[in-house]
Structure 1
């Protein structure tokens, strides 16, 4: 698994220092992936180079948190002509209630019709509930529930892996409710475990929005170096400044992988 965590500087220092710290921390672990094969270390781009001159199709899938992420990614990548960000999100959905919204079917249809080269996923926040499987109720976070949930995540990642798309799974941030935060960390552990199996990128964003004590904070250092409100009044969602900070963090990793893809394409030619 390729994992990135975000931790931004906080405190009353000058704006230039803050911006430098933000740029440094956002840029950590953004290097191309190294693949070992036949006893030799070689560089292989995580994003496959395009064979035709056209923009990369970047799809964002998930719930309302993913919608905010998609808005932030569009903002962060607004000046790039080689990437098109497409938002395919639906609030109050996840992997538990596939009878309400079947993400497997939705994503499979997109893969078949549009062949995205880059996929960003953020979900899980609505999955803190029991699930029904073959008429049987599985209690939330019980061992049978956990096994079924991991199976669903694995099915999704297996399908994406077969598509050849570069996958970035964005973890859940801490929220105002301490119980929800504990549950979100549980989901992050599930996603981290699942992405590791396929050597996919898991982006840990909890520290990106953490307060001085490492826990939830509605305020933080925005991309302009100023202290701003980053979280909505519900203690869960993001403000515009928060979504831009999240989008920039994820975009930093994607830009690094795009540079590696471009370098590989030049070397091949």
Structure 2
């Protein structure tokens, strides 16, 4: 059911794939400077049979972008797939949900780089781009997951020293530049990037602000070719409203999915909202393994 006001998962219409060896280039610079437009290489159309798959999976099956090349290196070394999670306290929960589903035993290493009370409006407290660069160092990551937002429901002082009201033109310009640069930092490490949106909030005013921010982030991710994972249908009731309890789709049991603060999910709730993303990451990894098998098979045949 489509509920009015929901931000739909725009990943279905995003990047289909980039031709093998071509770069998705981001020129990102220091704080206060604008990010240049991403330079997109020619797009490889996915085979017709793959058009129903999420774009990153179809891309891995049809042609290899830099993100797949990084993952191929990890697979060929026999190492765990490294999934880095960035965000605020909600990001902490997203990391927990992914850790429960992408386990060490299954060949994954979910790294929690999130930090409470942070956001793109709080750069005087913590510059997220600088922090992410420090956390990643020179090490590779295969997948990056971002989830910010509840702390960003406020006006800001821009890098030019001007006040910018929440969701006003100056706010969108400044926060947009920061987001673009942040994604650029992650793509410099050749990561496949995802953004996890926020669910409904209990308090009406915050819910309205977060809904607007969600839509802003979703549009920005669409422009950057980053899949936006919409959590609203998962964490809302049948009418699309805030819900503390929901029926478990597997058992039908009434289940607590939200914390008492009306903002965060319960631990079970975080597992619910990251279940689909976990499946997509697994699909992306398995599709990339098929690239590895296809590329190594001719070499093995020659060796025989």
* TM-score > 0.5, shorter chain as reference: yes
CA distance in 2, matches of 1:158, 1:128: 23
Alignment correspondent of 2:198: 172
Deviation at 1:79, TM superposition (A): 5.8
Deviation at 1:228, TM superposition (A): 0.4
1:88-237 → structure 2 map (5 Å cutoff): 88-133=113-158, 134-222=160-248, 224-225=250-251, 226-237=253-264
Please tell me whether residue 244 in structure 1 is matched to residue 300 in structure 2.
Answer: no
1:210 and 1:217 in contact (8 A); partners too: yes
Cα displacement string for residues 138-172 of structure 1 (whole angstroms, at most 9, x for unaligned residues):
22222111111111111111222232101111011
| Aligned-partner SS, 2:113 | strand
1:24-35 aligned within 5 A: 30=54, 32-34=56-58
1:42 paired to 2:36: no
Question: How far does the alpha carbon of each residue in 1:120-147 deviate from its partner, in whole angstroms, 9 at most, with x for none?
Answer: 1100110111211233222222211111
1:222/1:245 contact within 8 Å kept = no
- Cα pair 2:10 2:218 within 8 Å, conserved: no
TM-score (norm 1): 0.82
The corresponding residue for 2:88 is 63
Partner secondary structure for residue 99 of structure 1: coil
Contact 1:121 1:169 in 2 (8 A): yes
Instruction: State whether residues 131 and 138 of structure 1, in contact with CA within 8 Å, keep that contact through their aligned partners in structure 2.
Output: yes
* Root-mean-square deviation over aligned CA pairs: 2.3
The alpha-carbon deviation at position 183 of structure 1 amounts to 1.7
Give ranges in structure 2 of 5+ residues lacking alignment: 1-8, 13-51, 297-304
| Higher strand residue share | 1
* The structure with more radius of gyration: 2
User: Quick one: higher RCO (CA 8 Å, sep 6+), 1 or 2?
Assistant: 1
Structure 2 counterpart of 1:3:
11
Measure, in 2, the Cα distance between the counterparts of 1:190 and 1:112: 29
Q: Give the superposition deviation at 1:30.
A: 4.3
Unaligned runs of 5+ in 1: 5-27, 36-40
- Can you list the C-alpha shifts for 1:100-138, whole angstroms capped at 9, x where unaligned? 011111111233333211111100110111211233222
- Which shows bigger deviation, 43-52 or 223-232? 43-52
Q: Shift in Å at residue 232 of structure 1?
A: 0.7
How many residues of Structure 1 are paired with residues of Structure 2 in the alignment?
241
Query: By how many angstroms is 1:215 displaced?
Result: 1.3
